[in-house]
Structure 1
Amino acid sequence: MRKLFFDHALLASGWAQDVGLDVEAGVIRAVAPGASREGRERIPGIALPGLPNLHSHTFQRGMAGLAETRGPAGDSFWTWRQVMYRFLGALTPEDVEAIAAQAFVEMLEGGFTAVAEFHYLHHDRDGTPYADLAELSARIAAAAGETGIGLTLLPSFYAYGGLGGAAPSQGQRRFLNDPDRFLALVEGARKAVAHLPDAVVGIAPHSLRAVTPETLGAVVAAVPQGPVHIHAAEQVKEVEDCVGWSGRRPVEWLLANAGVDRRWCLIHATHMTQEETRGLAASGAVAGLCPLTEASLGDGIFEGVAFVAAGGRYGVGSDSNIEIVAPGELKQLEYSQRLKHRARNVLAGREGESTGRRLYETACAGGAQALGRRIGALAAGHRADLVVLDHAHVDLASVDGDRWLDSYIFVAGRGVVDRVLVGGEEVVTRGRHRFRDSIAARYARTVERLASA
């Protein structure tokens, strides 16, 4: 049993002082506000539950910045995708692991303590499966084990190149599986994460572009437990193509045909009608929002106000990993709503409520649901995942309570993250991951070689 002591902590009941946490086998066994410091290990600062990252493609960290040169007229998500296909065409298993480790270090230093890795890079560069079908899943698991981040691994089912079972392109050859081989890959992924504490394996049908109704139904039915994530309604063209194929919009089609419920997380869900917005909220599924990536790709702005008013649940993710910063995703989410509605403090629920606290607690709860793990709260029975802010930082020194969260999200950002604990183990100290230098050196060698390939 490890007995910890925090000066201040955000509990489910609100802010508390002199908080004792008893941690055993990575899990919080007891929480004691107003505890004595005697016999406990003091960790100074302001303790928050770690924020889950509900959507990441770690390999894309290696191409961050490579798609910022203007292309032909109509430069868009679809032209960005071609840059991505060229980049992943050269990746080896060792590259995948090195890039994932760097991304995971940055997540931990940036205030995320767990990640749902939406993993669709499965095969060798020519599309041939590795001898171990789950080779690249094992590389993601190895990076998670090295860095200490909590992992929900979501092998992605990708069988087609477009709606209605269109033939895949050359750039998609590393993603492709039929349902039987995909289910074998899922079993391999479960073996790959077996050594990690509290890891979860779910599935991620990539999108309605990449499956058919029959194959989607087959893989979801074959994996009755665990999270189900899918990209949906990210781009206007995707919506238009889906209407042309099925007569329905993507979210509308999923709600009517896929049995969407609390297991599901619809990534982006950017372009929804009022009926879709209310339907997704009523389903109990989580909207997986990635505000920095959605802004980078020109996706559009999520219908946040209507979704929250309908009781919808959301969390945030780092997606393309162009900038990995937990408070930054929350800030971009709120700022996008301010721009859309030309108002301030849009996602706060009532007069006098802290926007930062509402964003943080909602994203913790939604992220925990989407990852299928007991995380996102400082409460008995949850993993001891904590982000500890530097109380002496200039942006926190003159405020307290909810203002700490407002300043963390809207002012100071990752610069106030002092320590990070995952499963009660300290992996970040004074803002630096314990293996930052060695992992960064390996990553630098990797991207330098890829740049010259």
Structure 2
Amino acid sequence: MKTIWAAQALLPTGWASDVAVTVDETGQITDIADGQPARGHRAGILLPAPANAHSHAFQRAMAGLTETRGPDPRDSFWTWRRLMYRFLDLLTPEQVQAITALVQMEMLEAGYATNVEFHYLHHQPGGVPYYDLSEMSQRITAAALQTGIGLTLLPVQYQFGGCDRRELTAGQIRFGNDPARFARLMEEASRALTALPADTRLGVAPHSLRAVAPESVTEAPELAAGGPIHMHLAEQLAEVEEVQSAYGQRPVEWLLDNAHVTDQWCLIHCTQMEVHETTALALTGAVAGLCPITESSLGDGIFDGVRWLDTQGKIAIGSDSNIRISLSEELRTLDYSQRLRDGSRAALATPEHSTGRRLFNAVCTGGARAAGRNAGHIAKGYLADLLALDDGHIDLAGQSGDKLLDCWIFAGDDRMVTDVWSAGRHLVKEGRHIARDQITAAYGEAIKPLRDAL
């Protein structure tokens, strides 16, 4: 048993002072009491730590390398994707493990407790499977074993290069599996996860309506076996147009008419939705997996967060391309996008809660749902996924209540994060991951040949 004591803590009932949280050896919270004398590990401001609900870990090694324009003045997501395909053709399993460990370390230092990895890089260059079909899944697992982060692994099903079922391109060939081989991959990935703690989860991710057969989408709940189901949906205008041309409906319309969408689903991006789609999808209970920094970087569009949240829709936050891993900046970018679109201020605040409080509550509960994880609250019976902020920081000192969240998200950054626990594992101390030096050294060695080649 361990005790974490905080001067201020955000509980389901609201803010409390002098809070002692007791955590057992399984990582569950067994007791919470306020008005307690300081004991155990002392923290300033204690919050639930959300899940990072959408990540392609390997893309972290591309950060900052795609900011030039080629001869085509209309550079877009699709030209970026061609560069990404060229990059991933070089990656080895050892490099993927080192990159993933760095990503998970940076997630933890930013305040996330869980990595939901949308994992689609399965095979060797040229598309030949590794001797062990789950080789790359094992590398994600090995990284999580080193970093200690909570892991929800989502092997991605990828069959086609488009809705017309064209062959995968050279850049996509490492992703591809027919349904039978993908089912085997899921089984082998499940075995690989047994090396990790009991809070680890397995889900499934049909990549998108462009990349899998319609029946693979509708059969996803069976393959998920109770785990989360994630899918890219309505990210780009060209994607919407291709799906509409092939199936006679826009992506959200098709999904709602053909799949039983529940709160087991997390739909990623959803930046190209019409009003009726936003309302209808929110009412299913599905989580919208938002990645505002990446969506800004790629020019995806702006998610209709005001309408979605006003319809009681659930949201989670993710770092996607990992061009920058920052929890506070993701939340700030999401809110600022609403303000820019609507010419408003404090677009996501309510009379009851400030912008920071409403956003943070939403991503904690929605992220836990998207990760299939019993977390998101500082409450008895929940996993101790926790983060602490420095109450002595110049922007937080003397503040209380929701202003703490607002000052962190809108005036500060993740340097305010002092400690992070994942299922009770104390992994970030004084702002640094406990294995930072080893992880960063391994990453530096891994990417050197990649950068030389590019």
- Shorter-chain TM-score category? over 0.9
- Does the 8 Å contact 1:6/1:45 carry over to 2? yes
CA offset at residue 225 of structure 1? Answer: 1.2
* 2:210 matches 1:205: no
CA offset at residue 36 of structure 1? Answer: 3.4
**Could you report, residue by residue, the CA deviation over 1:158-191 in whole angstroms, capped at 9, with x for unpaired residues?**
0100013222111101000011111111111111
- Does the 8 Å contact 2:235/2:269 carry over to 1? yes
**Aligned twin of 2:32:** 31
Where in structure 2 are the equivalents of 1:45-124 lying within 5 Å? 45-71=44-70, 72-124=72-124
**Aligned twin of 1:413:** 413
C-alpha distance 433-222 of structure 1, shift in aligned 2 (>3 A):
closer
Separation in 2 of the partners of 1:175 and 1:439? 26
**Aligned twin of 1:279:** 280
- Does the 8 Å contact 2:113/2:422 carry over to 1? yes
Separation in 1 of the partners of 2:216 and 2:400? 52
Separation in 2 of the partners of 1:313 and 1:136? 31
* 2:413 matches 1:443: no
**Aligned twin of 2:371:** 371
**Aligned twin of 2:127:** 127
Secondary structure class of the residue paired with 2:113: strand
Secondary structure class of the residue paired with 1:283: coil
- The code of the aligned residue for 1:63 comes to M
CA offset at residue 4 of structure 1? Answer: 2.5
**Aligned twin of 1:389:** 389
**Could you report, residue by residue, the CA deviation over 1:139-167 in whole angstroms, capped at 9, with x for unpaired residues?**
10111111111110000000100013222
**Aligned twin of 1:325:** 326
Secondary structure class of the residue paired with 1:67: coil
Separation in 2 of the partners of 1:247 and 1:73? 32
Deviates more, 1:211-220 or 1:152-161: 211-220
Separation in 2 of the partners of 1:231 and 1:170? 21
* 2:16 matches 1:8: no
Separation in 1 of the partners of 2:269 and 2:148? 27
Separation in 1 of the partners of 2:3 and 2:33? 11
- Does the 8 Å contact 1:9/1:15 carry over to 2? yes
**Could you report, residue by residue, the CA deviation over 1:351-384 in whole angstroms, capped at 9, with x for unpaired residues?**
x631101100011111111111011111111111
**Aligned twin of 1:316:** 317
* 2:239 matches 1:243: no
Secondary structure class of the residue paired with 2:195: coil
Separation in 2 of the partners of 1:219 and 1:388? 37
Secondary structure class of the residue paired with 2:413: helix
**Aligned twin of 2:138:** 138
**Aligned twin of 1:260:** 261
Separation in 1 of the partners of 2:431 and 2:357? 22
Separation in 2 of the partners of 1:18 and 1:118? 39
- Does the 8 Å contact 2:28/2:423 carry over to 1? yes
- The code of the aligned residue for 1:300 comes to G
**Aligned twin of 1:334:** 335
Separation in 2 of the partners of 1:301 and 1:384? 33
- Does the 8 Å contact 2:204/2:223 carry over to 1? no
After TM superposition, the score normalised by the length of structure 2 is: 0.97
After TM superposition, the score normalised by the length of structure 1 is: 0.97
- Does the 8 Å contact 2:126/2:170 carry over to 1? no
**Aligned twin of 1:304:** 305
**Alignment RMSD (CA, Å):** 1.1
Separation in 2 of the partners of 1:263 and 1:434? 33
**Aligned twin of 1:181:** 181
Separation in 2 of the partners of 1:162 and 1:304? 29
- The code of the aligned residue for 2:32 comes to V
- The code of the aligned residue for 1:182 comes to F
Secondary structure class of the residue paired with 1:276: helix
CA offset at residue 219 of structure 1? Answer: 4.3
Separation in 1 of the partners of 2:314 and 2:210? 25
CA offset at residue 105 of structure 1? Answer: 0.7
Runs of 4+ in 1 over 6 A off after TM superposition: none
C-alpha distance 181-219 of structure 1, shift in aligned 2 (>3 A):
farther
Separation in 1 of the partners of 2:106 and 2:402? 25
Secondary structure class of the residue paired with 2:29: strand
Separation in 2 of the partners of 1:177 and 1:314? 30
Name structure 2 gaps, 5 residues minimum. none
**Could you report, residue by residue, the CA deviation over 1:194-220 in whole angstroms, capped at 9, with x for unpaired residues?**
121210000000001101112333444
CA offset at residue 3 of structure 1? Answer: 2.4
**Aligned twin of 1:345:** 346
Separation in 2 of the partners of 1:397 and 1:223? 46
- Does the 8 Å contact 1:183/1:219 carry over to 2? no
Separation in 2 of the partners of 1:97 and 1:309? 40
Separation in 1 of the partners of 2:295 and 2:7? 37
Name structure 1 gaps, 5 residues minimum. none
- Does the 8 Å contact 1:23/1:424 carry over to 2? yes
- The code of the aligned residue for 2:73 comes to A
Separation in 2 of the partners of 1:339 and 1:56? 26
Separation in 1 of the partners of 2:298 and 2:234? 13
Separation in 2 of the partners of 1:428 and 1:232? 34
Separation in 2 of the partners of 1:349 and 1:206? 35
**Aligned twin of 2:40:** 41
- Does the 8 Å contact 1:179/1:219 carry over to 2? no
Secondary structure class of the residue paired with 2:21: strand
Separation in 2 of the partners of 1:449 and 1:386? 37
- The code of the aligned residue for 2:341 comes to K
**Aligned twin of 1:224:** 225
CA offset at residue 306 of structure 1? Answer: 1.2
**Aligned twin of 2:164:** 164
- The code of the aligned residue for 1:446 comes to A
- The code of the aligned residue for 2:210 comes to R
Identity of aligned residues (%): 52
Secondary structure class of the residue paired with 2:283: helix
